[in-house]
Amino acid sequence: MDNEIKKENERPKKRGRKRYVLITYVFFGLFMLLLARLLFFTGIESEDFINSSYNPRLTKLSETVERGKIKTADGVVVSETIKNDDGSETRNYPYGPMYAHSVGYSVNGSLGAEKDFNFQMMRSHLFFIKRIYLELSGKKLPGDNLILTLDSRLQEAAYYGMGDYDGAVIALEPDTGKVLCMVSKPDFDPNTIAQDWDSIVSDSSSSVLLNRTTQGLYPPGSVAKIVTALEMMEEGKADTFLYECEGEEERDGYTIHCYRSTAHGTVDFAAAFADSCNVAFGNMGLMIDKNRFNLLSERLLFNRKLPTSFSNTVKSSIGMNADDSEALIMQTAIGQGKTLVTPMHMAMISSAVANEGVVKEPYISDSIENADGGLVRTYKGKTYGSIMTKDEAEKMKELMRLVITDGTGQGLISDDYTAYGKTGTAEYTDDKQSTHSWFTGFAEKDGKKIAVAVIMEGAGTASAHAVPLTKSLFDTYFQNE
Ligand SMILES: [Zn+2]
C-alpha cells in the first residue's frame, strides 16, 4: 500500500485533477463543519447534565429542534407540538387530563415524562442527510419521539373506571417492570395548565399535581394482610392456625371487628385470608415476632425508597414496636393503625408474587425513535431482586387465588384468564364509617401477566368498586386483539 501511494504522489500532476482535489477538499471541509454542528446539538454532553430544565443548552436546542412527540406503546400520540399561524408553538395533549400525571406537562415547569425525558425529545436522530438538508434550509429539526410503556386501552379503562372518585390506579407487567397504566385523581388538563396555574397551586387541599400512584400515602386496610400472612408462613405458624371469629372481639379496650361485624365462625389460615377476617388476622398479629415482622417489612420494601425509575416516590411505612399496645399490634396486622402505603408499592408486591418473588423496577419509557420512526434506543427494566422466596410466592399465590374463587374477590372470576388478589376496605376516619376501596393482585393467561393496585378514596367496599374496576382492566388486557 505504501509503495502504491508513493508511486501515485510521484506521478506528474495535471491541472484538471488539481481542481478536482480542491473541490473535494472544500466539500469535505463543509461537510465536516456541518457534522460537527450536528454533533454539537445531538449528544456530546451527558444526558443527566443537560436534562435539567435550568440548563441554557435546552433553551438553545428549542430554537433549532421541535420537541418530539410522546406516544403510548400501542402508538397513540398523547403529547405533540403544534405550530401556530404566527410561528409560535403549542404543546398539545389530545387526551386532556387522561395522562395528566404520567405524561405530565412542559409549561410552568414540567412534570411526569415531559420532565424526565425532556432532553431526549429535544434531540434529533433523523437520518443525517435529512438533517443537513433541514439545517441548510433553516428549518427546525423534528425531535425524537418518546414511546411509553403505557397501553392506551388500559389507561382509558382505568381513567373512566375511577369515575368521579379520587384515588389511583397502577398496572405493571410483572416480569419486566413496565408500567401499563398510571392514573391519579383529582387530575388537571395539561392543555390549560398555564391558565389554571394560580388556582391549582392555591388550592392546597386538593393537591391535584400529586401523583397518587407514587406519592399518595393511604391506610392499606386488608391488602396489608399479605405482609402478616407472609410472616405467619415464615414463622411456621400458618399451617396450624385456627380461630373462632364471632364478628368482633375486644382487646385492651379496643374492639376489632370484621366487615359488618358478621361472624366468620371457625377459620383456618387460608379461610381467614380469603374471607379477610379481621379478628383472626388481629390475633395473628399478637402471635408473630415483632422484630421478625419488621425485618420482613423492610424486605418487602416498607420504610425505604422504592426501587423504581420514578424520582418522585414516597416511602410506605409499617412497623411493630416493643411497647405497642395489643390494640395497636392488632390494627397493624390488619393494615390499620399507623401503616401507610403507596399504590405503586402494593402493585410491586403483587408483581413479585406473580414473578416468583422477584421485583423488577417499574419504568415508563419503552424507547426513543426518530421522527421517521427509526429506533434510537430502547429501555430495559432493572431487576431489583427477590423480596420473598419462590416457595413463599407460590403459597401466597394460592392464597390470593382463594380470595377470587371463595372469598371477597369473586367479581374477578373469568373464563379468559386466572386472577389472584387481595381486597381491602380501609377505614380512614375515627368513626370507622368512611372507607377506601382497595384491590391489589394480578392475572395471567398463557404466560402473559398484569399486576395492579387500585384505590378509590371514600368509595366504600372493595367488592363494589375496586374489584369491578380491576375486572375491566383485566378484561381489556386479555381481550382478543
Ligand atoms: Zn372474622
Q: How far away, in angstroms, is 170 Cα from ligand 1 center? A: 29
- Residue 207 burial (10 A CB sphere; 0-12, 13-18, 19+): middle
Confidence (pLDDT) at 12: 52
Q: How far away, in angstroms, is 246 Cα from ligand 1 center? A: 7
Do the Cβ atoms of 211 and 326 come closer than 8 Å?
no
Q: Over 259-285, what HEC string results?
A: HHHCCCEEEEHHHHHHCCCHHHHHHHH
Which amino acid appears at position 4 of this protein?
E
| Cell matching residue 48 | 443527566
Do the Cβ atoms of 146 and 67 come closer than 8 Å?
no
Q: How far away, in angstroms, is 226 Cα from ligand 1 center? A: 16
Residue 7 clears pLDDT 50, i.e. is over it: no
C-alpha–C-alpha distance, residues 400 and 403, integer Å:
5
Closest CA to 343 of 157, 190, 210: 210
C-alpha–C-alpha distance, residues 301 and 314, integer Å:
11
Q: How far away, in angstroms, is 355 Cα from ligand 1 center? A: 30
**Taking residues 456-472, what's their average pLDDT?**
93
pLDDT in tens, 383-418: 999 999 999 999 999 999 999 999 999 999 999 999
> Taking the CA of residue 260 as centre, how many other CA atoms within 13 Å lie in the half-sphere pointing to its CB?
5
Q: How far away, in angstroms, is 367 Cα from ligand 1 center? A: 48
Task: With H, G, I as helix, E, B as strand and everything else as coil, classify residue 327.
Answer: helix
Q: How far away, in angstroms, is 277 Cα from ligand 1 center? A: 4
Confidence (pLDDT) at 45: 46
Confidence (pLDDT) at 5: 46
Q: How far away, in angstroms, is 460 Cα from ligand 1 center? A: 18
Confidence (pLDDT) at 4: 47
Residue 447, phi-psi category: left (phi > 0), alpha (psi -120 to 50), beta (remainder): left
Average pLDDT over the chain reads 90
The residues with which 435 forms a beta bridge, in sequence order, are 427
Confidence (pLDDT) at 6: 47
Confidence (pLDDT) at 44: 43
C-alpha–C-alpha distance, residues 374 and 451, integer Å:
31
Confidence (pLDDT) at 47: 55
Do the Cβ atoms of 382 and 361 come closer than 8 Å?
yes
Q: Distances in Å between the alpha carbon of 234 and those of 229, 237, 274, 426? A: 9, 8, 19, 26
- Residue in the block written with cell 393503625: 337
C-alpha–C-alpha distance, residues 421 and 223, integer Å:
9
Closest CA to 360 of 379, 386, 394: 386
Across 89-98, 105-114, 306-315, least confident range? 105-114
Residue 16 clears pLDDT 60, i.e. is over it: yes
Q: How far away, in angstroms, is 283 Cα from ligand 1 center? A: 11
Which residues are within 8 A (CB) of 346 and not within 5 positions of it... i.e. 6 or more apart? Answer: 220, 223, 438, 440, 453
pLDDT in tens, 163-203: 999 999 999 999 999 999 999 999 999 999 888 888 888 87
Helix or strand (DSSP H, E) at 52: none
Do the Cβ atoms of 445 and 242 come closer than 8 Å?
no
| Cell matching residue 178 | 413496565
**Taking residues 459-465, what's their average pLDDT?**
89
Query: What confidence tier does 268 reach under pLDDT thresholds 50, 70, 90?
Result: very high
Taking the model in full, what pTM does it have?
0.88
Q: How far away, in angstroms, is 321 Cα from ligand 1 center? A: 25
Query: What confidence tier does 481 reach under pLDDT thresholds 50, 70, 90?
Result: low
**Taking residues 12-29, what's their average pLDDT?**
73
Query: What confidence tier does 66 reach under pLDDT thresholds 50, 70, 90?
Result: very high
Q: How far away, in angstroms, is 325 Cα from ligand 1 center? A: 21
Residue 57 clears pLDDT 80, i.e. is over it: no
Confidence (pLDDT) at 312: 84
Q: What single DSSP character describes residue 3?
A: H
Q: How far away, in angstroms, is 429 Cα from ligand 1 center? A: 21
Do the Cβ atoms of 472 and 189 come closer than 8 Å?
no
Q: If you count them, how many residues does the chain have?
A: 481
- Residue in the block written with cell 376496605: 425
Do the Cβ atoms of 332 and 285 come closer than 8 Å?
yes
Q: How far away, in angstroms, is 409 Cα from ligand 1 center? A: 16
Confidence (pLDDT) at 43: 47
pLDDT in tens, 419-453: 999 999 888 877 777 899 999 999 999 999 999 99
